[in-house]
Structures are given as C-alpha cells and as structure tokens.
Amino acid sequence: MKQTLITEQTVIEEVKKGVAETLNIDKGSIKPEHSLMKDLDAESLDFLDITYRLEQTFGIKMARHFVLEHVESMFGEGSAIDENGQLTEKAVELLKIRAGGDLPKEIRAGMDMDEVPALVTVETMARGVMDILDSLPEACTACGSTAWKAEDGIHISCGSCGAHATFDNGDDLTKAWLTKVRKEKKLF
C-alpha cells in the first residue's frame, strides 16, 4: 500500500546522506537532479555501497538488477536491448511508463546501454526506495494490526506489537510491475 509515514523528502535526504558518506563529499553540495557518475564522480562499485547503506537505513532490500535486465530475462533476449547493446523502441516506451511521463532527452531508442548508469540520479535512487516502502502490507504480518508508525520518520514498525515492517524486495517488485505492464499495455 502507498505509505505516508516516510516522506519523499526524508528519502531524498537519506539518499544524499548515503551518497555523501560513500563519496566522502559534502551533503549540502548534492542536488536531487545530480547524476551520481557524471556530476558526483561515482564509479560502479560506489552504486553498490550506496545501495547497501540505504538498505541498512530503511530495512529494505533494493533491486540488484536494472529494469531492462529483467525485461530481457522475462520477455526474451532482444526485447529491451538489441544485439548491438542498444535500447529498443519498446524499452524506451517502457521506461517512459515507469517514469510516469517525459524522459530525459538522452534516453532514446539506439542509446547504448553503457550510457545508462550515468542517468542514475539522487532522485531516481530515492524513487527506487519509495517504491519499496510503498510495498508496506496493509496489516502487520506478526499481529494483524494496521496501526503502522514511524516514530523516527525512517523506520516503520507495528504500533501494536512493535514488529519491524516487512517490504517486498526490489527485484521482485520490478518483476511484478513488468508482469502488470505487459498485461495492461501489451507491450511485449
């Protein structure tokens, strides 16, 4: 369910904090629209480090694979990434649906997959976290209560029994979303 206990602003601040700690830079200098690679000089391993930090912070499990990698394994090779390692038309359409609107102009069919990591921003990482937090179940799996609370604004727990909230794992969420989109939009 869409949760309201942790705000998007809080998540963005926590992503900034994770990025600042990983890259050893001043948190105040980080903007939501910053590309981790292009603007903040992150390298590939830094993404993992930031991911681990966010998982610790929120008690979640983030996706290890990019959405298009899931498309490839679920809907067949070549469906999102062609044999030249470039995005297909369908991949771009899918990303547009996922972004819920316009995409940055760099994202177009024929774009090289190698250029994709540079598009990851503080904001897109925060959206990934929000999606997982929004998988909060209606009721506590331990006691059935629906009284969720987040006293520190970061950790959701059961207001009745105190159990930590459980969320879906990021890769599973991506796969479920893809199944839904495929059915509704008949994209693949």
Closer of 15 and 42 to another protein (Cβ): 42
**132 close to 173: Cβ distance less than 8 angstroms:** yes
Shortest distance, CB of residue 150 to another protein, whole angstroms? 28
Q: What's the closest the beta carbon of residue 45 comes to another protein, in angstroms?
A: 4
Q: Which is nearer to another protein, 103 or 116 (CB)?
A: 116
- Strand duo 148-149 + 157-158: pairing: antiparallel
Rank residues 93 and 171 by Cβ distance to another protein and give the closer one.
Answer: 171
- Closest distance of CB 29 from another protein, Å: 20
Sequence-separated (6 or more) residues with CB below 8 Å from residue 176 = 168
Q: Count residues contacting another protein (CB under 8 A)?
A: 10
Helix intervals (H) in the chain:
8-23, 44-58, 67-75, 89-99, 122-133, 170-185
Residues numbered 42-101 forming contacts with another protein, rule: CB under 8 A: 43-45, 48, 64, 73, 77, 83-85
Asked if 24 touches another protein (CB under 8 A), the answer is no
Both structure tokens of 103: 């995409």
Q: How far is the CB of 55 from another protein (least distance, A)?
A: 13
Tokens (6 digits) for 143: 């006691």
CB of 80 to another protein, least distance (A): 14
Residue 28 is given by DSSP the state G
Q: Which is nearer to another protein, 38 or 64 (CB)?
A: 64
C-beta of 31 vs 52, nearer to another protein: 52
Taking the complex as a whole, how short is the minimal distance between the CB of residue 37 and another protein, in angstroms? 10
What end-to-end distance do the CA atoms of the chain give, in Å?
27
Helix (H/G/I), strand (E/B), else coil: 105: coil
Q: Which two tokens stand for residue 21?
A: 């700690």
> What helix, strand, coil percent values describe the chain, rounded to 5?
45, 5, 45
Q: Which is nearer to another protein, 51 or 157 (CB)?
A: 51
User: Using CB under 8 A as the criterion, which residues of the chain lie in contact with another protein when the complex forms?
Assistant: 43-45, 48, 64, 73, 77, 83-85
